[in-house]
Amino acid sequence: MSFLAPTLLAGTALVALPIILHLVMRREPKRVEFPALRFVRKRQSTNQTRLRLRHWILLALRCVFILLLVAALARPVLRGSGLLGEGSAGLAAAVVVDTSPRMGYLVENETRLAAAQEMATWLLEQLPADSEVALVEPGRARRAKLGGRDAAILRTSRLRTSAAGAPLAEAVVEAVNLVGDQRDHRREVYVFTDLAAVEWGDAAIASIGEALDASEGTKLYLVDVGVPKPVNAGLAALDLSTAHLAEGEVVTLRTEALSTESLEGKNRTVEVWITNAGAKPTKRGELQVELAAGPTPVELPIAGLGSGVHQGFVRMEGNDPLVIDNTRYFTVSVSSPPRVLLLAESVGDADLLAEALAPTALSQTAASRFAVERLAFDDLDRAQLATYDAVMVLDPPPLSSEQWRKLSDFVQSGGGLAVFLGRNAVGHLDAFNTPAPRLLLPAELRWVSSTARYLQPINYGHPVLKELSDIGEATPWPAFPVLESWAVGNLDDIASVVATFADGSPAIIEGMFGSGRLLMMTTPVSDRAGDEPWNLLPTNPEPWPFLALVEGMTDFLVGADIRPLNYQAGQVVSLPMPRRNDLATYVLQPPSGDPLPQTRSPGQQEIVISNTDEVGNYRVRSGGEQVRLDRGFSVNAGGNVGRLARADFSDIAESLGSDRVELATSRRNLSKSIDLGTVGRELFPWLIALVAIALGCEQWLADRFYKSG
C-alpha cells in the first residue's frame, strides 16, 4: 500500500486532542446525602466502573475518527498483483490492437476485433484522466503520438480489420519505443491479440525483447482476445504458373488447403470461377479435397481463355468462423503469341534458336509462347518487318547499307532487335564499323578473342535474366564454355552491359535507338556442336540456362509485360500504359464501391495505384465501347491469414522475462492484473465511510454520556 499525499500523515499527531479532552472533561461524581450509606457505597463502586468503561470507549472512538480522517486525506492506494509501474510524473500508456484479417474470426456473432475494442475501451476508461495515452495501429503510415485518453478511446472505436496490416511485432516495438521516451512516467504497453503463432515467432519476440531492453522499466501486458481452440478451413496464398500467357496456353492455379485439427478428415469442395466484367460468372472447375493435419496441395488448370484480361477467384465451400481465407482472387492476361523473325545465312542455321523459342514437341499439345518465322539474309529486302514484334539477326555477314537502314527503321518505330555476332563477321571489321551498322551496334568491334571463358552475369535484375533470377549465381555457366567471342571497344554513352564473361568482358550489351529495344551479344547462339562452335550454350546435353536466357531476351525484345498482375494487400501496383496512346482519362473499378475516374498526366507511361487495402479484383479501363485501355490486377490477403495455431504464453514470458510481461484473458483478470498494478485502487471512499460511522458512534455515545442528569 502507498499514499498519494503521504505528508498529510503528520496529522496523526492530532490524536492527542481527544486524549486531552478526555482528561479535561472527565466527569466528577456528584455528592449525594443518603441515609442508607451501605447501599450508596455499593452503588458507587458499580457506577465508577461503568463510567471508566464509557470514558475509554469514547476516547477510542475519537482517536479512531481522527486517524481514519487523516488516512483518508492522505489517499492510500492499494497495489494489486499486477506489474508495478515506475516513475512519479503519471502514466504513459500505449495500446496496440491487432487489426489483421484473423481478427475477423466470429464467436457468438462477435469478431475478435470487436471484443478487443470493447475491452480496450473499458481499459482506457479506467486509466487516470491525466494519463498520456497512444493507440498504435499496425501498418499505420504515420507514427503514433501520446495524447489524451478520450482521443484514444475515439480512435479505438473506429478500428477496422486490414488485409494490408504490418506485422504486429512492429507495432509493439513502436509502442514500447514511444512510451520509453517518457522516462519520468510509469510506462506500460497493452497489446490486444489473438496470440496467433504466426505473429509471435522467435524473430518477432526477439525484436520486442530488444525494444524492452532499450526501454528499461516499461511493462508489457498481453490481453488475449483469441479462442483457445479455433476452428477454421481455408486456402493458402494462390500461385499461378504464369500471369501472362498466349492464346491456347494453359494456366495452372496452385494453392494449399489449410485446416485446424478439429476438421481433419472432413471434405471440402474447391471451385474456380471466371468473373469477367460484363459477363456472367462461369465455373471452370472444381476439386474435392480431404482436409488433413498439414497443408493439402490443390491444383486447378484453366484452358481455353481467349485474348484479353481474365479475372476470377478460387473458393473453398463451407462455413467457418473465418471467411476471408475461403476465397483467393486472380488475374491473367492472354494475348496472341508475339511474332519473332529469325534472320540467318540460311534458314537451317536458325533451327536451334527456333526450337528453343517454339519447341516442336509442344505444337500438338499446347501453344508456344512465340510465333517464330525464319528467313535468310537474302530475303531481308522483301520482308515486312513491321508485322513482327522482334527480329533476331544470327551471326550476320556484312549487310548492305539498305538492309542496316531497314533494321534501323524497324527499331526506330518501336521494334526489338538482337544481333548475335559470330564467325561471319571475321575479316570484315570495316564493314561492321561503318555508320550504317553503327547506328544499331552499341560498341565498335575490335578483334576475336579465343580465350576460353563462360558467362558470369553480376546482376540478375535485368529483364533479360529474369528467368534465372531465382538461382542467380548458382547457375552452372562453367558447364557452357564460350570458346571464341568478339572483343569490343568503348561502349556508346547510352549503352549498358547486361551480362559479362567471367573475365569481366562484355557478353550482352543493351543499346538504345528510337523507341525500340536493342541487344548485341558478342558470341553466337546458332552454332552446332559438330561445326567447331564458338560456344556450347545451345548444345550442352542439359541446356536449360540457355533456354531461360533466350526466352528472357525475347521477352525483353517484344516488350512483353512481365509485371505481376497478382499482389498482396498493401503493395503498390504499377500497370503500363499502351504504346502510342493519347488517352486523357481512365477509370479504376475497385472490388466494391463506385468507379474512380482518374486523369492521365502528360507523358505518363504507367498507372500507379497505392491504395490496395481491399482484397478482390480491380479493373482499369478507358475508351468506352472501343476499350482502348483494359488492364486488371488482383489483391489478396497474406498467405498466413488462415493459420490460427496459438502461441504458448509461457514461451513468450520465458523469452521476454516474466517480470516484464503479463497475460490477461478477461475483464476481471485485466482489472486484477493490470488496473491495480498500474494506477492502484484508492481506499478514500471506504475510509470516508468509516470516518462517518466513527463520528456517528462518537456523537451518539457522547450525547448519552454528557446529557444532564
- What are the DSSP calls for 127-176, one per residue? S-TT-EEEEE-TT-SSPP--B-HHHHHHHHHT----TTPPPHHHHHHHHH
What residue type is 534 in one-letter code? W
**pLDDT-derived band at 637, boundaries 50, 70, 90:** very high
For 611, the grid coordinates are 491504395
* Contact indicator for 519, 509 with CB cutoff of 8 Å: yes
CATH 3.40.50.410 positions along the chain are 92-230+649-675
Nearest to 198 by CA among 158, 148, 244, 232: 232
Chain-centroid distance of CA 372 in Å reads 42
Distance separating alpha carbons of residues 564 and 238, to the nearest angstrom: 13
CATH 2.60.40.10 positions along the chain are 233-335
Distance separating alpha carbons of residues 344 and 359, to the nearest angstrom: 19
What residue type is 191 in one-letter code? V
Nearest to 457 by CA among 438, 479, 481, 477: 477
Q: Which CATH number fits domain 348-557: 3.40.50.2300, 3.40.50.1240, 2.60.40.10, 3.40.50.880?
A: 3.40.50.880
According to the model, what pLDDT value does residue 687 have? Answer: 74
For 200, the grid coordinates are 509471435
**pLDDT-derived band at 82, boundaries 50, 70, 90:** very low
Distance separating alpha carbons of residues 663 and 669, to the nearest angstrom: 9
Residue with cell 539477326: 393
Among the ranges given (43-57, 413-427, 486-500), the one the predictor scored with the smallest mean pLDDT = 43-57
Nearest to 677 by CA among 659, 650, 689, 653: 659
According to the model, what pLDDT value does residue 141 have? Answer: 74
Cα four-point dihedral sign 468, 470, 476, 478: positive
Q: What is the mean pLDDT of residues 164-181?
A: 91
**Buried b or exposed e, range 416-426, using 16+ CB within 10 angstroms:** bbbbbbbbbbe
**pLDDT-derived band at 424, boundaries 50, 70, 90:** very high
The CB density around residue 94, as the number of other CB atoms within 10 Å, is: 28
Each residue of 533-552: pLDDT tens digit? 999 999 888 889 999 999 99
According to the model, what pLDDT value does residue 247 have? Answer: 82
According to the model, what pLDDT value does residue 84 have? Answer: 42
According to the model, what pLDDT value does residue 9 have? Answer: 61
According to the model, what pLDDT value does residue 342 have? Answer: 96
Distance separating alpha carbons of residues 121 and 111, to the nearest angstrom: 15
According to the model, what pLDDT value does residue 248 have? Answer: 81
Q: What is the mean pLDDT of residues 425-448?
A: 91
Contacts 24+ apart (CB under 8 A), 373-378: 373/339, 373/340, 373/341, 373/342, 374/341, 374/342, 374/344, 374/347, 374/350, 375/341, 375/342, 375/343, 375/344, 375/347, 376/343, 376/344, 376/345, 376/346, 376/347, 377/343, 377/344, 377/345, 377/403
Residue 432 confidence (pLDDT) above 90 = yes
pTM: 0.70
According to the model, what pLDDT value does residue 380 have? Answer: 93
According to the model, what pLDDT value does residue 702 have? Answer: 72
Q: Give CA separation, 697 vs 50, 58, 59, 346, 708, in Å.
A: 18, 9, 12, 122, 19
Residue 75 confidence (pLDDT) above 70 = no
Residue 242 confidence (pLDDT) above 50 = yes
Percent of the chain with pLDDT strictly greater than 70: 84
Cβ contacts of residue 262 below 8 Å, gap of 6+?
229, 231
According to the model, what pLDDT value does residue 319 have? Answer: 86
The CATH code of domain 233-335 reads 2.60.40.10
Q: What is the mean pLDDT of the chain?
A: 85
Nearest to 647 by CA among 165, 280, 197, 73: 197
Each residue of 350-377: pLDDT tens digit? 999 999 998 887 655 566 788 899 999 9
Highest mean pLDDT among 53-62, 405-414, 597-606: 405-414
Q: What is the mean pLDDT of residues 608-627?
A: 84
For 249, the grid coordinates are 496456353
Distance separating alpha carbons of residues 389 and 558, to the nearest angstrom: 5
* Contact indicator for 678, 94 with CB cutoff of 8 Å: no
Distance separating alpha carbons of residues 567 and 592, to the nearest angstrom: 17
Distance separating alpha carbons of residues 91 and 182, to the nearest angstrom: 9
Percent of the chain with pLDDT strictly greater than 90: 53
DSSP 554: H
Residue 531 confidence (pLDDT) above 50 = yes
Distance separating alpha carbons of residues 351 and 342, to the nearest angstrom: 9
CA angle 402, 407, 411 (to 5 degrees): 145
CATH 3.40.50.880 positions along the chain are 348-557
Cβ contacts of residue 126 below 8 Å, gap of 6+?
671, 675, 679
According to the model, what pLDDT value does residue 369 have? Answer: 80
**pLDDT-derived band at 80, boundaries 50, 70, 90:** very low
Among the ranges given (124-128, 134-138, 405-409), the one the predictor scored with the smallest mean pLDDT = 124-128
Each residue of 280-332: pLDDT tens digit? 889 999 999 999 988 999 999 999 898 889 999 999 998 889 999 999 999 99
Q: What is the mean pLDDT of residues 621-629?
A: 72
* Contact indicator for 91, 185 with CB cutoff of 8 Å: yes
Q: What is the mean pLDDT of residues 646-668?
A: 91
According to the model, what pLDDT value does residue 681 have? Answer: 58
Q: Which CATH class is domain 92-230+649-675?
A: alpha beta
According to the model, what pLDDT value does residue 81 have? Answer: 42
**pLDDT-derived band at 32, boundaries 50, 70, 90:** low
Residue 10 confidence (pLDDT) above 80 = no
Each residue of 558-572: pLDDT tens digit? 887 778 899 999 999
Residue 44 confidence (pLDDT) above 60 = no
The CB density around residue 301, as the number of other CB atoms within 10 Å, is: 13
* Contact indicator for 273, 616 with CB cutoff of 8 Å: no
Better-predicted residue by pLDDT, 604 or 149: 149
Q: List the beta bridge partners of residue 316.
A: 270
